[in-house]
Amino acid sequence: MFFSDQHLCFADILPPPEIDRRSSNSKVSRGLLTDVSWIFLSHSFCTRSLMRANTAKAFIRVWKVMEMCYQVLVQEKRLTQRELFYKLLCGSPDYFTSQLQVNRTIQDVVALLRCSRYSLGIMASSRGAIAGRLLLQEPNQEVVDCSACGSSGYAISGDLNLLEKLVMKTDARYIIVVEKHAIFQRLAEDCVYNQIPSILITAKGYPDIATRFLLHRISRTFPDLPIFGLVDWNPAGLAILCTFKFGSIGMGLEAYRYACNVKWLGVRKHDLELVPEQSFIPLKPRDLQIAKSLASSEILPDNYKEELAVMVESGKRAEIEALYFHGYDFLGRYIAKKIVQANYI
């Protein structure tokens, strides 16, 4: 079925009755940040049967998605998961009624065929942006200087195939992953990458596939550049950092493709003395739920668990913006000092 376009999709076909997904060792409940995202993926398998009576529809969904992917590949087109949902909703309404069903079926197909989603013709939706000392060139396009893209940065394409073909040049010494778009904009507006020779990248919250893919691609191209993460001091911020660092169960067998060795620069417990008392925010039940799930993960490093324990014990959270108490230019100096002092974990 898929061999008609082998340059786009190479697949080892597994027996249809069983699909393996790595998730049993995660000990992380569903829906940490969204209803369809799970944090962490590691080494043991859980097995999902498609031959039981109550999984008949799931079995058919797999073939419906593969059929649609085949049609897309034959036409040399690509589509997003959302576009795929609407096509399946119109063509197979008896089997697809929600985006979640499509997302889970894509995971099944990826696990069954042992290939990536973009090799199936499925593009990622992207919210991410990049700025700083990086030159990018798409095939047959002009070079883009990411330091000249303004405070909003260069919008990251959702076409992973295009991201893989980017020609990149840089004289940066660091990569800084920023959780929030507002902080990213402030750093880009202040041209912090001129003070700290760096590349700034943000997913504007929970990291999408395209942003993670590009970060991994930059890391592969420039393996000597350390990657630092700047996130809020709260369980959700740590979960976002860990998704960049370890991957997510929602990505199934693809997760390893996008994981990067991100170091936690800040905000951390030793930085709390810089935060005014009135800027602390009480933890919400949702924060505690995320913290509990993170703490139960076997792959979370001990020093990360210590930070998490302090968050829970204190019952409060601190956002990056609280550092503006010391002036709008303080954040750049804060980042530079921590990098120079190797104050990261």
Residue 227: per-residue pLDDT: 98
Q: 86 catalytic, yes or no? A: yes
Which domains, from first to last, does the chain contain?
Answer: 2-16+51-123 (1.10.10.10), 129-340 (3.40.1360.10)
Inform me whether the pLDDT recorded for 28 exceeds 70: no
Residues forming beta bridges with residue 169, ordered by sequence position: 135
Residue 26: per-residue pLDDT: 40
Cβ–Cβ < 8 Å for 138, 220:
no
Length of the chain: 345
SS3 278: helix
The conformational region for residue 264 under phi > 0 = left, psi -120 to 50 = alpha, else beta, is beta
**Average of pLDDT values for 115-131?**
85
Summarize pLDDT for 36-78 with one digit per residue, the tens: 343 344 444 455 666 666 678 888 999 999 999 999 999 988 8
Q: Where are the alpha helices (DSSP H) in the chain?
A: 56-74, 81-91, 99-113, 160-165, 181-189, 192-195, 209-221, 235-246, 285-295, 302-314, 330-340
Mean pLDDT of the chain: 84
Inform me whether the pLDDT recorded for 27 exceeds 60: no
pLDDT class for 190, splitting at 50, 70, 90?
A: very high
State residue 189 phi and psi, 5-degree precision.
-65, -35
Cβ–Cβ < 8 Å for 317, 233:
yes
Interacting residues of 88 by C-beta distance below 8 A, sequence separation 6+: 64, 65, 68, 95, 96, 102
Q: Which of 70, 86, 324, 344 is catalytic?
A: 86
Residue 22: per-residue pLDDT: 45
Residue 155: per-residue pLDDT: 94
Query: pTM value?
Result: 0.76
